[in-house]
Amino acid sequence: MKSMPLPMPALAGGGVALRPWRVDDVDHLVSAWKDPEVLRWTPVPDDAGPEKAAVWIAGARHRLETAIALDLVVVDGGGTAVGEVGLSDLDHDGRVAQIGWWTAAHARGRGVATQAVSLLARWALGPPLNLTAVLARIHPDNEGSLAVARAAGFRTLATRDNSEIVIVAATPQRPRPAGIDPDVLAGEEHKTTQRG
């Protein structure tokens, strides 16, 4: 299938909402890039400062229009930025995408990631994208994100005990997606994205 610009969804529920990145989100992103947990589990640029953050934020529209990624800020009920969630590595033929996320340190432990991941994954599995699966690639030692994925309705699709990747697919209301080869997917995990 030919790549089409990705739609920008308007999603909210469970005390959070998802919105596009804005220029005034630089501090939110830079803070996350300095956070030890984000540094440990997600690929953060070497020169992760305000300039890099501004460039990355400015590129979000282009990534959307070229179907490279859908990057969203998670905000709480008061409009404060509390995290990030996004889709990347879209396979338009297989109708599969990867999902990634982080929660700002000050907002952890209150369901932010679970709600954000649930909202975006459910949306991606329905119209207009109608993906057959949303995949999260999580290090087996990343207990927090494994818990988030499970709480958001994902289930394990493939694991690699002696390596770094656990693959789970979001199929809350669907049978196991056909045509997804875990071994093929497991070989693709090192694509560089801003998220884990």
- Report how far residue 113's alpha carbon sits from residue 7's, in angstroms, rounded to the nearest whole number: 22
Dihedral of CA atoms 16, 145, 43, 124 in degrees, nearest 10, equals: -50
State in angstroms the smallest separation of the CB of 96 from ligand COA: 17
State in angstroms the smallest separation of the CB of 146 from ligand COA: 8
Question: Among residues 33 and 41, whose Cβ is nearest to ligand COA?
Answer: 41
β-strand pairing of 69-76 with 96-103: unpaired
By C-alpha distance, which of 195, 173, 169, 196 is closest to 181?
A: 169
State in angstroms the smallest separation of the CB of 183 from ligand COA: 20
83: enclosing H helix or E strand: strand 81-91
Question: Among residues 177 and 196, whose Cβ is nearest to ligand COA?
Answer: 196
State in angstroms the smallest separation of the CB of 161 from ligand COA: 17
Cα 124 to Cα 39, 95, 137, 142, 190: the distances in Å are 27, 10, 17, 24, 22
Question: Among residues 14 and 179, whose Cβ is nearest to ligand COA?
Answer: 14
- Which parts of this chain interact with ligand COA (CB under 6 A)? 37-38, 41-42, 101-103, 108-114, 138, 142-145, 147-148, 151, 196
Question: Among residues 138 and 185, whose Cβ is nearest to ligand COA?
Answer: 138
Sign for the pseudo-dihedral over CA of 42, 139, 81, 32: negative
Question: Among residues 114 and 171, whose Cβ is nearest to ligand COA?
Answer: 114
What angle separates helix 112-125 from helix 143-151, to the nearest 10 degrees? 50
Report which DSSP code applies to 26.
H
Question: Among residues 61 and 188, whose Cβ is nearest to ligand COA?
Answer: 188
State in angstroms the smallest separation of the CB of 31 from ligand COA: 12
Q: In the complex, which residue's CB is closest to ligand COA? A: 196
64: enclosing H helix or E strand: helix 60-65
State in angstroms the smallest separation of the CB of 193 from ligand COA: 10
